[in-house]
Amino acid sequence: MDQWIAPDRIFDGHVLRSGDALRIRNGEIDKIAPAPDTACKVAGLVTPGFVDLQVNGGGGVMLNTTPTCDGIAAIAAAHHRFGTTTIMPTVITDDAQVLDQVVDAMLQAKSVPGVAGLHIEGPHISVARRGTHAAKFVRPMDDRTMTAVTRLRAADIRVMITLAPEAATLSQIAALAKMDVTVSLGHTDATAEAFQDAIAAGASCATHLFNAMSPMLGRAPGAVGAAINSDCYAGIICDGQHVADSMVGMAIRARPVPDRMFLVSDAMATVGGPDTFDLYGKRIALQDGRLVNAEGSLAGAHVTQAEGVKRLVTHTGTPLQTALRMATTTPAGCINAPALGALVGQPVDDVVLLNDDLSFTGYLRGALEKHHAST
C-alpha cells in the first residue's frame, strides 16, 4: 500500500523543495510530487543518507587493526547511527600484508549494507607529507598494490586510491584509471605542474584538500592550488580542526566547476566508540574534540558527516543546498555511483531527518513508526 509523507522540506539529492511529498512504496521512496491532502506530516528536513568516501574507523574499530568482514560491518554500522548510510572504509599506510587482508575482507564484505567499496590511502605517498601515516611503510607504487586493486576490480568492487604523484609513474596512474579506479592525489609534496600531469594521466580527485599537501603560495600554487584550480573532485574535512572554516568556504567558492567539492569525515574509531584507540601500536586519544597522538599532533578526525554538513552551513557560509550535495550527490558522483546520492530509490531506513538547526534526529522509518504509534 502506498503512503504519502509530507516533510517540512525535502532535499532530493539536487535541490531543496517545499510543499512536496514523498510516496513510499515497498519500503522505499518511489516518487516526489505535490503533497496530497492525505499526506502524513513530518517535521524537519528529509535528505538522502550521507555518503562518506574516507572512513578509517568507527564503533571502536579501525580497519587497519581489524581487517575483517566483521570489522568492516562494525564500522559501517557505527556511522549509520549518525546519518551516514554509505561509506568507503579506508585502509591507511601499513605493512603490505595488511592491505592483502583488507582485500580478502572486502571480497567477503561485498554485500554488507552501506559499503560502497574500498579506499586505499597510501602507502604510495610522500614521506614529507605523510601526516600520521607511519614512515617505515611508505614506498613507491608496486606490483603488490596493483594486484590487490586488480582483485577488487575483478569482483566489481569500487576502489579509490590515494597516492602522491611523486610515488607513482604516470603510466601506473593511467593503468589504474583504465580499471575505473578513482585515483585521488594526496599526502604529496608535488609541484602544481606534477599534480596537473597526474590529472592528465587519469587522476580525478584530491584527498582531504589542504591537509598533507604542498601549500598554495603566490608564485608556487603547489598541490593545493592545482587542486582548487582543476575540474577534479576534492574531498575536504570540515571539523574546525583540520582546515580553518574560512579556508573551507574559500575553496568551495573558488572552484571553476560546481559540485566538485565533497565532504569527508576522515573518521577514526572514536566515532560511536571509546575515546581512545591504538594505531601502529600507539595510543591515540580524544582531547577537547581533537584526536592527537603522543606528540600532540592531529591523528585523524572525530566528526560525522551530519556534523560536517551543519558546520559547512553555520561556519563557512556554504548554502544548505550545496552542503547537502557535498555529503550526498557529489561524493556519489566522484565514484560514479549517482544512485547513492538520490532520494528516489532510497529505503526509508536510510532516509535522514534533520531538525531546524540541522542536527541529525534519526531516520524516516523511526518518524513514521512514532506517528503511527500516536494515531
Which residues are part of the catalytic machinery? 266
The residue type at 113: P
ω into residue 123 within 30 of 0, thus cis? Answer: yes
Instruction: Say how far apart CA 30 and CA 40 lie, in whole Å.
Output: 16
- Angle, helices 192-201 vs 170-178, to 10°: value is 40
Determine if residue 335 is left, alpha or beta; phi over 0 gives left, psi from -120 to 50 gives alpha, anything else beta. alpha
User: Measured between alpha carbons, how far is residue 219 from residues 183, 196, 216, 225, 254 in Å?
Assistant: 27, 16, 8, 10, 18
Backbone phi, psi, residue 4, to 5°: -105, 135
CB-neighbour burial class of residue 356 (10 A; exposed 0-12, middle 13-18, buried 19+): exposed
Closest CA to 161 of 203, 223, 132: 203
Q: How far apart are CA 98 and CA 362, in angstroms?
A: 35
End-to-end CA distance of the chain: 18
How far apart CA 62 and CA 66 sit, in angstroms, is 6
Q: In the chain, which residue ranges form alpha helices assigned H by DSSP? A: 69-80, 96-108, 143-154, 170-178, 192-201, 222-228, 245-254, 305-315, 320-326, 329-334, 364-374
Is the distance from CB of 178 to CB of 186 less than 8 angstroms? no
Q: CA nearest 329: which of 9, 86, 82?
A: 86
Using CA atoms, how far apart are residues 313 and 216, in angstroms rounded to an integer? 25
Does residue 88 sit in helix, strand or coil? Answer: strand
Residues 6+ apart with CB under 8 A from 358: 45, 309, 310, 313, 314, 320
Pick from 163, 121, 86, 76: nearest CA to 346:
86
